[in-house]
Structures are given as C-alpha cells and as structure tokens.
Amino acid sequence: MSDRIYIFDTTLRDGEQSPGASMNAGEKIRLAIQLEKLGVDILEAGFPAASKGDFDAVSLIAGKVQKMEVAALARTGRDDIDRAWQAIQHAAKPRIHTFIATSDIHMKYKLDMTRDQVIDATVDAVKYARSFTDRVEFSAEDGSRSDRDFLCRVFEAAIDAGATTINLPDTVGYAIPEEFSDLVKYVMAHTPNIHKAVLSVHCHNDLGLATANTLAAINAGARQAEVTINGIGERAGNTSLEEVVMALNTRPNFLPVTTNIQTEYIYPTSRLVSMISGILVQPNKAIVGANAFAHEAGIHQDGVLKNPMTYEIMSPETIGLSTNKLVLGKHSGRHALRSHLKNLGYDLTDEELKLMFIKFKDLADKKKMLVDEDLEALVTESILRTDDIFHLEYLHVICGNTVLPMASIKISINGRSIQGADYGNGPIDATYNTISKLAGTKPELLRFSVSALTGGTDSQGEVTVRLRENGLVALGRGSDPDIITASAKAFVNGLNRLEYLKANPIQASQVL
C-alpha cells in the first residue's frame, strides 16, 4: 500500500458553505494560488451548477493553476456534469467529482429512489464523466450511515464504470473514530476492485471528531483526505488541513505516511482564509490559533526557555510562524514592502503594489510600527475587495455624553457617490443607520465583535459583523486604528457580501 496521502482541499467549495463565508472570484483565485504554493494535490474549486458566479470562479481558477488537479463538484445528473466539465475543461489536470446519497434515510426522504436506482445513477454519471476526463471521483453522500454491503456494491459499480477515486464521507459528523476505521477496513476488504481506485474520506466536525476520524481512516488504509483550511465548512465545519498534516508530520512513528504539503505555508494560508472569509480563528484553535504557541503559566514559560520541546511538540517555524517578525515603518521602502508581503504569501502585481504602498504609507503615518497583521489587513481591504459595490469614502461622527450621536457619511455605490447623515443610540448605531439609509437596505445585525490586531493603544481595531437579510447571512470584517471607522468598514464589507450572495444563490444547501 502507498504511504503517500493525497490532500484534497475543499475550502473553496465546502468551506464557502460556512454561513456567510462567501468569496468573490478575485478572492478565490488568490486563495487558489496560495493553496498551490502550500502543496495541495487536488483543489475542489466549486460547484459550477450552483450559480453563474460559482461557474465563472471555477473556470477562472482552472485556467490559473498548473500543478494541482482542479475538481468541480456535480450531482449525478448529466446537466450538472456538463456544467462541471465546461468549467474545468481547460485545466491542466481536470477532475469531475460526482456524488449521490447512499444512506437509507437520504434515499427514502430526499431522493425517493431505490437502491438499484441509486446504483444505476452512479454508473451512468461516472461513465458520462469519464467520457470527458480520466480523473473521476465518486462520493457516496452520508456514507458513514449507509448499509455497509450496499456501500460496497455502489463503490464496486462506480469503479467498474471508471471512477479513479472513491470517497467515503461522514457527511453529518456522526462517526466515532474506531467505528469509522472499521468501516474503512470493511470497504477495502469487501469491494473486490478497490485496488483500482484511491479511497478517500471526507469528515465533518459535528461531534468534534473530524480530524480524529480522518486520521483513523488513514491508519486503516484511506489514502486521500478531504479537508479545509481552518476547518471551515458546513455547520460545525470540516476536517482541518493543518491538524491532519501536522499530526502526520509530528507522529510518523504512529502514522508512517507523507504528504506533499509545504508546512511553512500553513500559517500564512490560514491567515489568508480568515481574512477573505471573515471567519476569525479561535485563539485556542490547534496549530494556527493565537494561543497555539503561547505560554502564560510560569512553569511552562520556564520549561520553554530552557528547552522549547518541554511544552512544544512542534516548532512555530515549521508552520511558517516566525518568532522574529520584521517590523516595517514609515521610512520603509517599496522593495522592503514587496519582499515582506511575498514572505507572507502575497505576490502582488506592480499596480497592486503601487496601491498597497499608498495605503501602507497612510497607515504608517498613524502607527509607528506595522507588523504582519497590519499588512494582511491592508491587503484584504486594498487588493482583495476591489470589485465591491459599496465603498466607504468619508465618515464623521459626533458623540459624547452630552450630545445625540450623529454620523455624516459618504459612500460610493457602483462608483456613484452619495452622502447623508442620521442619528443613533451610539456612534456605531448612528453609523450603521446612516449607511443603511444610503444603501437602501436594513439588514439585521446578528453579531458584532471587536478585537485588537496587535498590542498597544495605537493598534488597529478589527471588527467582525454578521448580517442577515431575506434569509441570507453574510460576515463582514474591517480594520482601522479608529474603531468607529473599522466598524463602518466591517458593515460595508458585510453589505457587499450580501450583494454577492444575492447574485450567486446556492442551489444545493448541503452536500457531502
């Protein structure tokens, strides 16, 4: 059996199904380039049949990356498969990923199909996909709750029809590691032609066991892991790429397998996903959380100072988290900025660097020293959001304990400037009331959180909001040394993401 584990990243497809985590085409392309640098083997770029926006993004990514296989998701209907192929046909390594549910509960209540009908649909879909490319993956949705013998029948039929990868998903995060390991072993022992395909697993984190289940499956013989950066995804999320990869790297004595992941790019990629998606990484998140390499207890600090391995089972440099951060300031030049951004994973064009340098100098005049988090926030706002409908141009707020808070604001809508003012219970309420009035919308504010990007009173404030309008939920994120301005930027970003969701409705709310 091969000791090589293929990493199938679905951040751009399943990860984007996180509530509010919509990404525009430019953001998806930038993330795809970073994932290729990270060493991902297969990139699931999206679900082309879901919307025109998804189709266009998948098509653009397919023409951009060269080393990774680019996979497009499709249900077993031929229309879906046609759409998937149209999106990826010009990719250097195109893969069609087709799926259908195989559990009794899904077949009865969702599909209204018999077992034989599901097998027939599987065979037809795989054969049809195989007529376009020899890279065909078949997934049995809700596989962990499917009848084992029927699951093996479906997999056998799919492989006979031409599938080169067979995926066993724990779609609803129901499995327990020992149970899932046993299921993988059973499938490998009772699917006669399993040696002709790579067995993959795709786990969800509803019980907090996605990584444990994936590692158990690898130990049992699975050779492809389907993951997302930071573990983002539907409901409680997916298996975390960084957790699986670093577990394999750290415990080769127990899991003697390898991946192609360049681990020094893990942390920069994690930060990029967080910046683009607007989903904060929890401080105690394994591998990439802010506290992952922080030591506060005196005994721990003493041990780490004497030998880091006393309390660190991996070095922060391994994942690209440098302990010696280069600090830039207002006297730093364009070359230093470009070099540092490249080390962070941002390869900017000359035009992008020109725009970024102007923003950098403006912020450097307000802050004496800029660190990585400041630069990443600038890239997100200056480069990654250039196609937004709404832009904040001007903000003036009057507030205090003796005046009624009022905000005077100018925003641009598709390039047309409009200004106005309104009152509120506080400066942020006044700001949001004014922006809503100018934008002609009134979304419900579900969540508002604020944090500091770095230490110090001159730190940039980072604000995250969750907005809901007509059943759509979007996250917004903004940063600025002025917390009211950061709040306005986050609200405007949320409005832009709502507009993106309106223009790109997701037809399949939950798959795999």
Longest dimension (CA), the chain: 79
Average pLDDT over residues 497-512: 70
Residue 13 reports pLDDT greater than 90? yes
Residue 325 reports pLDDT greater than 60? no
Q: What percent of the chain has pLDDT over 70?
A: 92
CATH superfamily membership of 390-503: Alpha-isopropylmalate synthase LeuA, regulatory domain (3.30.160.270)
Give the DSSP per-residue string, 174-224.
Answer: ---HHHHHHHHHHHHHH-TTGGGSEEEEEEB-TTS-HHHHHHHHHHHT--E
Phi, psi of 395 (to 5 degrees): -145, 125
Residue 76 reports pLDDT greater than 80? yes
Separation of alpha carbons 16 and 233, rounded Å: 6
Closest by CA position to 258, among listed 248, 273, 244: 248
Separation of alpha carbons 54 and 22, rounded Å: 10
The confidence band for 86, taking pLDDT boundaries of 50, 70 and 90, is: very high
- The pLDDT value recorded for residue 430 is 97
Separation of alpha carbons 486 and 481, rounded Å: 7
Q: Which CATH architecture has domain 6-277?
A: Alpha-Beta Barrel (3.20)
- Note the pLDDT tens digit of each residue in 220-230: 999 999 999 99
- Note the pLDDT tens digit of each residue in 166-207: 999 999 999 999 999 999 999 999 999 999 999 999 999 999
- The pLDDT value recorded for residue 505 is 67
Cβ within 8 Å of residue 259, ≥6 positions away: 4, 5, 6, 7, 39, 245, 248
Containing 455, the helix (H) or strand (E) segment is none
Mean per-residue pLDDT over the chain, rounded = 89
Closest by CA position to 141, among listed 183, 186, 107, 176: 107
The confidence band for 329, taking pLDDT boundaries of 50, 70 and 90, is: confident
- Note the pLDDT tens digit of each residue in 275-310: 888 788 888 999 998 887 764 445 444 554 566 666
- The pLDDT value recorded for residue 111 is 97
Domain ranges for the chain, please list them.
6-277, 296-320, 334-382, 390-503
Residue 72 reports pLDDT greater than 80? yes
The confidence band for 148, taking pLDDT boundaries of 50, 70 and 90, is: very high
- The pLDDT value recorded for residue 311 is 58
- The pLDDT value recorded for residue 300 is 47
- The pLDDT value recorded for residue 326 is 53
Separation of alpha carbons 349 and 33, rounded Å: 14
Separation of alpha carbons 436 and 434, rounded Å: 5
Cβ within 8 Å of residue 140, ≥6 positions away: 99, 100, 101, 102, 146, 151, 154, 155, 166, 167, 168, 169
- Note the pLDDT tens digit of each residue in 414-446: 999 999 999 999 999 999 999 999 999 999 999
Closest by CA position to 305, among listed 318, 316, 295: 295
**Is the model more confident about 457 or about 188?**
188
Residue 508 reports pLDDT greater than 60? no
- The pLDDT value recorded for residue 203 is 98
- Note the pLDDT tens digit of each residue in 461-499: 889 899 999 988 888 888 888 999 999 999 999 999 898
Note the Cα 367 to chain centre separation in Å: 31
Written in H, E and C, the secondary structure of 59-126 is HHHHCCCCCCEEEEEEECCHHHHHHHHHHHCCCCCEEEEEEEECCHHHHHHHHCCCHHHHHHHHHHHH
Q: What does the buried/exposed string (b/e) look like for 139-152 if buried means 16 or more CB atoms within 10 Å of the residue's CB?
A: bbbbbbbbeeebbb
Which residues does residue 468 pair with via DSSP β-bridges, in sequence order?
444, 473
Separation of alpha carbons 24 and 389, rounded Å: 12
- The pLDDT value recorded for residue 294 is 66
**Is the model more confident about 42 or about 375?**
42
- The pLDDT value recorded for residue 309 is 63
Residue 335 reports pLDDT greater than 90? no
SS3 477: strand
- The pLDDT value recorded for residue 324 is 46
Asked if the domains 6-277 and 390-503 are classified in one and the same CATH topology, the answer is no
- The pLDDT value recorded for residue 407 is 97
pTM, entire model? 0.85
Phi, psi of 53 (to 5 degrees): -60, -40
DSSP state of 447: E
Q: Is 44 exposed, middle or buried (0-12, 13-18, 19+ CB in 10 A)?
A: buried
Q: How far, in Å, are 16, 63, 96, 280, 445 from residue 10 at the CA level?
A: 9, 18, 13, 18, 29
- The pLDDT value recorded for residue 341 is 82
Q: Which of 8-22, 254-268, 381-395 has the lowest mean pLDDT?
A: 381-395
